[in-house]
Amino acid sequence: MTNFDIVPNRRNTNSIKWLRYPKDVLPMWVADMDFSAPKPILKALHKAVDHGVMGYEMPTPALKETVAARMDKLYGWKIKPEAVVAVTGIVSGLSVAARIACTPKKGVLIQTPVYNEFHEVKNNLGIPQLDAPLITRVDGRILNYKIDWDIFEKQVKKAGMFLLCNPHNPLGIIFSRSELLKMAKICIQNNVLIVSDEIHSELLLDGNTFTPLAKLSSDIARHTITLIAPSKTFNVPGLFCGFAIITDPELRERYEKEVNHLRMHVSSAGLIAAQAAFSGQCDGWLNELRHYLTLNRNFLVEYVAEYMPNVRMTIPDATYLGWLDFTQTGIVGSPYEFFLKNAKVAVSEGLIFGAEGEGHIRLNFGTSRKLLEQGLDRMRKALNSI
Ligand SMILES: Cc1ncc(COP(=O)(O)O)c(C=O)c1O
């Protein structure tokens, strides 16, 4: 059994999460967890270090077979190993897709509020960004989000690519099968490439299940680039290794050509970690992690309900990210600034996910329950002082 209550000290590393803010600030922002990676990954990396030679390495057929076998094992999704393209992370992988699908006239469609890096694609490539904001439904103090189909259909007409985030960061939603089918149908009718960022797909809370969009039909698969990675699930984001799954040979050829143009070589450490992560050897650890994260999510939801009056939040189905709405609490200005100054807690500013994030924050609960409780206690005290 892994004891997730014990987290290593990260202040003595180069961690962005722990070094960005002064020492008295508790970091609950960027999406990495405070847990050690599972032992089989560490063992594989130790073995490579012990070998001593850190030469150039390649994504081998065996690694691609491992990725394909994992898709089959998890979802019954049968893909050929050659459909798997290694990329230096999901953000670079989605940028490559935008380079082949978008133009100054055909932009990138996103569903806001959404992962901040999705908002950078337009800046990186000089293309339009088309927002299809999700509709917020408030049920007591619980936030639910639904697709606004009118806006989606209007915006898709101006897009070259639809960037789907499923499970969704920062909302923690897993889109339903009928929503996925409808989004895909609209994109295909409008000849829009679908890029499905499924980086959080294995971080399922409770007993939730997940189906890759491209598994829903061969027609959808032909129009879709699926992006997955071991980075969030097994907490190895600093090793920068992800995979684009592209079943259509012609689309894959165009994508691989662009990857090669950009000289996107994955580090040997990333490839080694991915092989161990997706081999199945880490699945016991992953089940324990999901259980721990589910309890953390429950702790957060109950804490907010009991001690933070007027705060609303989503109940994430997946991810270790909470989305909290402070617009009814009397905080003046940004809650991110408020908590940084008054609680010494660094969360993510809601506005980085889109204009709909005003008055909201994203809170990373991928840490020990003790640190989570400490952060929430600090925030509660600050709220009480308003
Ligand atoms: C939805 C989503 N995509 C991509 C990433 C980052 O991926 P990478 O570090 O592989 O570029 C994150 C990290 O938080 C994320 O939440």
Same domain assignment for residues 54 and 142: yes
Q: How many structural domains comprise the chain?
A: 2
Residue 124: pLDDT band (50, 70, 90) is confident
C-alpha span between 158 and 81 (Å, rounded): 34
Element holding 313 (H helix, E strand): strand 312-313
Which residue's CA is minimally distant from atom 10 of ligand 1?
Answer: 89
CATH number at residue 323: 3.90.1150.10
Q: Tens digit of pLDDT for each residue in 304-325?
A: 999 999 999 999 999 999 999 9
Query: Mean pLDDT over all residues of the chain?
Result: 98
- Judged against a pLDDT cut of 90, whether residue 166 lies above it is answered with yes
Q: Given this model, what pLDDT does residue 312 score?
A: 98
Last residue of a domain, one of 255, 278, 301: 278
Q: Which residue has the higher pLDDT, 124 or 47?
A: 47
Same domain assignment for residues 241 and 361: no
Give the structural domain span for 33. Answer: 16-37+283-384
Is 237 touching ligand 1 by the criterion CB < 6 Å? yes
Q: How many CB atoms lie within 10 A of CB 256?
A: 14
Q: Tens digit of pLDDT for each residue in 61-109?
A: 999 999 999 999 999 999 999 999 999 999 999 999 999 999 999 999 9
Is 175 touching ligand 1 by the criterion CB < 6 Å? no
Q: Tens digit of pLDDT for each residue in 215-232?
A: 999 999 999 999 999 999
Question: Which atom belonging to ligand 1 lies closest to the Cα atom of 237?
Answer: 9
In a domain, residue 185? The reply is: yes
Residue 288: pLDDT band (50, 70, 90) is very high
352 token code pair: 């980085």
Same domain assignment for residues 84 and 182: yes
Is 353 touching ligand 1 by the criterion CB < 6 Å? no
Last residue of a domain, one of 237, 255, 278: 278
Same domain assignment for residues 253 and 293: no
C-alpha span between 174 and 167 (Å, rounded): 5
pTM: 0.98
Question: Which atom belonging to ligand 1 lies closest to the Cα atom of 241?
Answer: 10
C-alpha span between 272 and 339 (Å, rounded): 39
ω before 170 within 30° of 0 (cis)?
A: yes
In a domain, residue 5? The reply is: no
CATH number at residue 219: 3.40.640.10
Q: What is the Å distance from ligand 1's center to 215 Cα?
A: 21
Q: How many CB atoms lie within 10 A of CB 143?
A: 18
Last residue of a domain, one of 262, 278, 294: 278
